[in-house]
Amino acid sequence: MSRIHVIHENPAWLPPLAEAFDRAGLPWAELDLSRGTFDLASAPPEGVFYNRMSASSHTRGHRYSAELTAGVLAWLTRHGRRVVNGPRALDLEISKVRQYAALEAVGLPVPRTVMVQDAPQAVVEAARRHFAPGPVILKPNRGGKGLGVRLFPSTEALAAYFEAAPADEAPVDGIWLLQDYVRAPRPVITRAEFVGGRFVYAVEVDTTAGFELCPADVCAVGDAFCPAGEQPPAPAPRFTILPDGIEAPLRGRLEAFLATAGVDVAGVEFIRNAEGNPLVYDVNTNTNYNAGAEEVAGLAGTPRSGPGALAAYLGQELGRAARLAA
């Protein structure tokens, strides 16, 4: 039977999608790639494969899930299966450096970033050379959910952090990123959601509670950073859907980027600088949606919700694949 196959390694993120698929009457199955065995001489099952492998899979004990997924996607592609968020999307998911290169190639600005693959002392020296006196952001090249993203008020605070950090603190791929800290007029970032390469809605995310910005209800939230001498802003809703979305020119540029990059479904995060100009810093091809924000906006359970739009799109792709196979 032809169906939608959801490639993943974290079942905790499946329920909202399962509800949307069931509501739409779509046949589907999960393909858990936390581990697996595949006979490459056989043909894959029929249907559409939706890849939502996460860059943070290694944090759940699935160190090689992304590598396994790359092999499975090659196998699926070889047999002509429709893969939503195929190999090129996975390549961007697991490398912020490659994300930034792809964004800049189409004229979308990103924060200034320095890549370091070396001992912590080399990271500190690079920070002093390029970002002194600070502040500076430290993040892993392959992260996910904002995990491992830290803001230091000065390069010397970064040096002190590494003096106390455990030896196994290095990123899973060995690559550290140092990045400009963009002081936005308000302590928020914007996450624009796209399904089928088309804009669905934008979420404003309050950042006063830290950088772990995964919208899924099961995600944890980290501690806040507030510069010395400043009082933290009053609490705000963590996730708020913007009724007017984002400006049409930016929306068009992001849609064009996704088409060029071979990405079908994504949450694209950007921050505005003091002049109001957006800088894109993350392309999340394993996007999750915040049920509370959708409920407040009146989108929950409708085709205009994230899961609803995704179910509708995958249903269309399943029908198209069936027609091509007939």
Is residue 263 within 8 Å of residue 283, measured between CB atoms? yes
Residue 227 has pLDDT above 60, yes or no: no
pLDDT score, position 144:
63
DSSP state of 287: -
How far apart, in whole angstroms, are the C-alpha atoms of residue 73 and residue 70? Answer: 5
Residue of 3, 145, 10 lying closest to 66 (CA atoms): 10
Chain segment 237-277, per-residue pLDDT in tens: 789 999 999 999 999 999 999 999 999 999 999 999 999 99
Query: What's the CATH number of domain 183-303, 3.40.800.10, 3.30.470.20, 3.90.1110.10, 2.30.30.30?
Result: 3.30.470.20
Chain segment 122-173, per-residue pLDDT in tens: 999 999 999 999 999 999 999 865 668 899 999 999 999 999 877 667 899 9
Is residue 195 within 8 Å of residue 268, measured between CB atoms? no
* 133 phi/psi in degrees, rounded to 5: -85, -5
SS3 percent helix, strand, coil of the chain, rounded to 5, is 35, 20, 45
pLDDT score, position 143:
80
User: Domain 113-180, CATH 3.30.1490.20 — does that match?
Assistant: yes
Chain segment 273-317, per-residue pLDDT in tens: 999 999 999 999 999 999 999 999 999 999 999 999 999 999 999
User: Domain 3-93+308-325, CATH 3.40.50.20 — does that match?
Assistant: yes
Distances (CA, A) of 230 to 21, 183, 233, 245: 46, 13, 9, 31
Distances (CA, A) of 180 to 97, 154, 268: 14, 11, 18
Q: At what angle do helices 248-261 and 96-105 cross, to 10 degrees?
A: 120
pLDDT score, position 176:
96
Instruction: Write out the two tokens for 55.
Output: 């860059």
Could you tell me the residue ranges of all domains in the chain?
3-93+308-325, 113-180, 183-303
Residue 48 has pLDDT above 90, yes or no: yes
pLDDT score, position 209:
67
Chain segment 170-225, per-residue pLDDT in tens: 899 999 999 999 999 999 999 999 999 999 999 999 988 665 444 544 333 333 34
Is residue 77 within 8 Å of residue 91, measured between CB atoms? no
Letter for the amino acid at 172?
V
How far apart, in whole angstroms, are the C-alpha atoms of residue 91 and residue 265? Answer: 14
Q: What is the mean pLDDT of the chain?
A: 91
Q: At what angle do helices 155-164 and 120-131 cross, to 10 degrees?
A: 170
Instruction: Write out the two tokens for 187.
Output: 């302590």
